[in-house]
Amino acid sequence: MAEARARRLSRRLAAAPTHWNPLIRDAAGQYIGRPDGWWEDVALAWEIDSVDFHFYREDYARTLHRNNRYAATGIVVVQTLPSQLEKDPARVLADLTSAYQEAKARPRPAVFLAPEAA
């Protein structure tokens, strides 16, 4: 539900995500993450992080590890709560637009879309 709302909202962006739920790897082929939205041209990740899926200690720890992998490789990431998509879409759009500009202004990190297993 939240991702469908995010997809609809993203159509209002000047530069919408180029991929949804892609597998991202670093230059050595190591797993980085599978963001909800991804801008391939600037290596920008969008995560819709619901309390429902990040409530327990282990889930929260996985989220922190994921965000650390993004940071270590230079990926700019925007985290959005599902409630923000409905209650404050203008803020979400502003956050994404700002992050896109930030990502565009720095050299693109050496991260890649992984081919999906057939």
- pLDDT for 118 equals 41
Average pLDDT for 79-104: 97
Using alpha carbons, list the distances in angstroms from residue 108 to 15, 82, 102, 111: 16, 28, 11, 8
Q: Roughly how many angstroms between the first and final C-alpha of the chain, as a whole number?
A: 27
Average pLDDT for 91-111: 98
Structural domains of the chain, ranges and CATH numbers in brackets? 2-113 (3.40.960)
What pTM was estimated for this model as a whole? 0.88
Percentage of the chain modeled with pLDDT above 90: 81
pLDDT of 11-30, one tens digit each? Answer: 999 999 999 999 999 999 99
Burial class (CB in 10 A: 0-12, 13-18, 19+), 97: middle
- HSE toward the beta carbon, residue 66, CA cutoff 13 A: 20
- 25 versus 116: which is more confidently predicted? 25
